[in-house]
Amino acid sequence: MRNRFSIEANEASTLPDILPVFPLTGAVILPNGQLPLNIFETRYLDMVLDSLSHSRLIGMVQPKPSVSEDEFDLHQTGCAGRIVSFSETRDDRLLIILAGVCRFDIETEIDLAPGGYRRMKVSWTRFLHDLDDLDQESPQLDPSTLLASAKRYTDHRQLAVDWKALDHLQPSELIDTLASSLPFSPEEKQGLVEAVVMNDRLQLLTALCEFGAVSTDSSSPIAH
C-alpha cells in the first residue's frame, strides 16, 4: 500500500488544476519513487514555502533544449511530488524530499507566481492509474531481469549502489526508484516519465540498462 503521504485514487479530485513547476534538466520523479532536492534559488525557495502551506505538491518537469539564452520550453509531461521532508541549512538553503504522486500533462502556462516561479494548468486524466494501490499491481511485475541488468549497468559505470537498501521495495517502487536515480541522459529519463503503464516503463528501463552496460559512453549526467 502507498505510504500515508500519497493521494489515493478515490481522492483524485483533490489534485489541483494549477501546479507550481520546477524545471530541472536530468532530475525526474516517478509515481512510486522519491527525489531529494537542494533548493537555493530565491524563487524556488518561495515555491517550496508556498507549497508547504497549500497542497505540498511540486511538479517536476524537464526543460527542452534552449531556443535562446533566456528562453526554454518544457516537455509536456512531468510528475508531481509531495514534500514529505524538509530542513533548513545555516546558509538559507532548503533540503527537501519529494515522494512521487502522479504524472500530468501541461495544458497551458499561467501568470508567474508572486515569488517568480512558473505555474501551469495541468491535466491528470491520462495518468490517474498512477494512484492505484501498489498491492494490486506488484504481483504482475517481475523485476528480476531488470535487477540483473541494473547491476551490470552500475558495475560497468563503476557506480556504488547499496542493493540491500532496495530489498524492501515493492516491484513498482524498485522500478521507479531505479528509473529516477540511475544516470541516464535527460532524453532517456523523459522517455521513462512518458511510458504510460508500469510494464512499459519496466521494459524500457531494462533495455536502457542493457544498452548502458555495454556502451563505452559514460558521460550521462547524474540526476540530482
pLDDT tens digits, one per residue of 46-105: 999 999 999 999 999 999 876 555 556 899 999 999 999 999 999 999 999 999 999 999
The predicted pLDDT at position 142 comes to 87
- Domains in the chain, please, with CATH? 9-132 (2.30.130.40), 135-214 (no CATH)
Model confidence pLDDT, tens digit, residues 147-180 = 999 999 999 999 999 999 999 999 999 999 999 9
Say which residue, 222 or 131, is predicted with more confidence. Answer: 131
> Quick check: 139 pLDDT over 70?
no
Q: Phi/psi of residue 62, each to 5°?
A: -90, 140
User: How confident is the prediction for the chain on average, in pLDDT?
Assistant: 88
Residues composing the chain? 224
The predicted pLDDT at position 91 comes to 95
Are 94 and 86 spatial neighbours (Cβ–Cβ below 8 Å)?
Answer: yes
The predicted pLDDT at position 66 comes to 67
Dig out the grid coordinates for 169 from the structure: 521495495
> Quick check: 6 pLDDT over 90?
no
Q: Which of 61, 89, 90 is nearest to 75 (CA)?
A: 61
Rounded distance, CA 182 to CA 27, Å? 10
Under the banding of pLDDT at 50, 70 and 90, the label for residue 132 is confident
Q: Which of 51, 98, 96 is nearest to 79 (CA)?
A: 98
Q: Which distant-in-sequence residues (6+ apart) come within 8 Å of 189 by Cβ?
A: 26, 28, 62, 179, 180, 223
**Taking CA 40 as the corner, what is the angle to CA 22 and CA 50, rounded to the nearest 5 degrees?**
55
% of the chain beyond a pLDDT of 90: 77
> Quick check: 210 pLDDT over 90?
yes
Are 97 and 31 spatial neighbours (Cβ–Cβ below 8 Å)?
Answer: no
Torsion angle of the four alpha carbons 142, 177, 2, 55, in this order, in degrees rounded to the nearest 10? -150
The predicted pLDDT at position 18 comes to 96
The predicted pLDDT at position 217 comes to 55
Rounded distance, CA 92 to CA 111, Å? 27
β-bridge partners, 80: 59, 102
3-state helix, strand, coil in the chain (%, to 5): 40, 25, 40
